[in-house]
Structure 1
């Protein structure tokens, strides 16, 4: 089963590459005003951290905000999902064959996340800039809370002693519903890793099972969500492509050389900055006009 998923991930990577490059080439005279180098460095840092388990969405958001790359925050969810799709697919390809999980459980939760992202992305593309700012702000604060719980090992306690590698019956149904919701929330900037991990632990699965489920769920849902973001032009082409280009070596370097790196101090620093950025976005939403006519 792992080999089948491996090939599916490769196909999704090719699909995402064609989808993104076709749109970029079609609109090569309207790529946006972001900076190639700055956005590429942001992609490298974010996906480097994502491979180490810190996450990429919150880091990308705070770095884009700090470097003032975005003209319109309405495009931020699209940038996050489109820009990080290929690096996340690469992560999943690297790690999917390492840990074994029941095939039915894995596929069911991945499909649920994909379905959630499809519906979520169709909804988010219709949001005004003010609404996106508000959702991103709260998404960052929620992400910071989950990151803190993980750093304090409180989420890990939920999985202590768990041995199951599959879900059945009501537990499988809960897992499907949960991943559907997490997939939808990914499209507004709430990272799937931590909440999915907590759910997997609470349902009695072994902590190791969370990794292929989390990675493959994100890898599956982001190309699907990208369809709607690209179709509705709800992302910045230059920034997203630069993040993709920078993110790929970030994943490779982190996975090959630095998996043993102690990132405790860095993680706490990131949490503080994420909270600050989240509050900034919430305050920014209050100052943005209620009606945004920009399409």
Structure 2
């Protein structure tokens, strides 16, 4: 089964890479050399942190919002398009580390992909002010989840023993992961909510890692195709950060292994709340 997942993942990543880079080459958007350096550093650092469990959606939004290198309506797309391939590499590296029930893994992966496809089609067509309203509400919620995860509050402090789900719990897992896949396209990272879901359903918290990484590895390419079609993403950043992001993943897996991320998580949570306030102020100004 591990070999099957590896072959499918690699096939999807190669097909997506060809599709994305063909779009980038076709449109040939130019950017300054300094910005290209920033994109490269961003890709490496954020994917290194993502591999260590911080997540990349919130951090990439903070980067683009603070540097003003992408408009607000590009933020959800950037989080999917730019990080799809590095996250796929994460899944390949972590696939055989944790034991998880095959039926649970496959059904939850499929449901997240379907949710992402539906969500991306909707989000890519939303007006920028609608996206601002959505992000203004969602980002503080993500900040709270990050803080809860950091301190082991709520479901993050639960210690189940199951490696799979059956019956009603499996149905709940499939449905909720569908919703998480859809929310992923709005800029809500899947890692922390998926970990909380697994804990609430009585699974060992470590089982969440192949489920959440696999969900993102399989949902981000098809969701990103919708964003690439719309053109609402930063093409120069995608071209550079995708490559440096892979090196960030490898550095975290083979070299860094672990690092103190408590302070960083608090900073990210604070930035998310700041971003939410800035979206609200922008909406008021435009009115």
Range into which the TM-score falls when normalised by the shorter chain = over 0.9
Say if 1:235 and 1:155 are closer, same or farther in 2 by CA, change over 3 A: same
> 1:40·1:246 contact (CA, 8 Å) conserved in 2?
yes
Q: Note the C-alpha offset of 1:31.
A: 5.4
Aligned to 1:271: 269
Q: How does 1:148-187 map to 2 (within 5 A)?
A: 148-155=147-154, 157-160=156-159, 162-187=160-185
Query: 1:40-90 CA distances to partner (integer Å, 9 max, x unpaired)?
Result: 2222221111111111011111111111101x2112211111000011001
How far, CA to CA, are the matches of 1:216 and 1:237 in structure 2? 25
In the alignment, structure 1 residue 11 sits paired with structure 2 residue 2: no
| CA distance in 1 between partners of 2:213 and 2:116 (Å) | 14
The reply to whether residue 238 of structure 1 matches residue 236 of structure 2 is yes
User: For 1:22-48, what per-residue CA distance to the aligned partner results, in whole angstroms no more than 9, with x for missing partners?
Assistant: 1111212x3577921112222222111
What RMSD, in angstroms, separates the aligned Cα atoms of the two structures?
1.7
| Greater share of residues in helix | 2
Rate the CA distance shift 1:286–1:40 in 2: closer, same or farther, 3 A: farther
For residue 267 of structure 1, report the CA deviation from its aligned partner: 1.7
Q: Which residue of 1 aligns with 2:77?
A: 78
Does the Cα contact within 8 Å between 1:32 and 1:236 map onto a contact in 2?
A: no
The alpha-carbon distance between structure 1 residues 212 and 8, as it changes in their structure 2 partners (threshold 3 A), is same
Give runs of aligned pairs for residues 183-198 of structure 1, distance below 5 A.
183-198=181-196
Q: Does the aligned pair in 2 maintain the 1:84–1:244 contact within 8 Å?
A: yes
Q: After alignment, is 43-52 or 239-248 more displaced?
A: 239-248
- How far 1:155 moved relative to its partner? 4.5
Distance in 2 separating the partners of 1:176 and 1:158: 22
Q: Contact 2:74–2:234 (CA<8 Å) still a contact in 1?
A: yes
Q: Structure 2 CA distance, aligned partners of 1:87 and 1:117?
A: 18
Tell whether the 8 Å contact from 2:119 to 2:185 is kept in structure 1 after alignment.
yes
Alpha-carbon contact 2:88-2:217 (below 8 Å) kept: yes
Which segments of structure 1 move beyond 4 Å, counting only runs of 4 or more? 31-34, 155-158
- Structure 2 unaligned blocks of 5 or more: none
Partners of 2:109 and 2:215 within 8 A in 1: yes
> How far apart, in 1, do the equivalents of 2:139 and 2:114 lie?
23
Question: CA shift at 1:243, angstroms?
Answer: 2.3
SS at match of 2:202: coil
Conserved? CA contact 2:74–2:232, under 8 Å: yes
1:36 correspondence with 2:36: yes
Q: Could you tell me whether the CA contact under 8 Å between 2:148 and 2:156 is conserved in 1?
A: no
Partner of 1:117: 116
Match of 2:208 among 207, 210, 221: 210
Name structure 1 gaps, 5 residues minimum.
Answer: 290-295
1:276 offset after TM fit, Å? 1.5
Q: How many residues align?
A: 286
- 1:293 corresponds in structure 2 to none
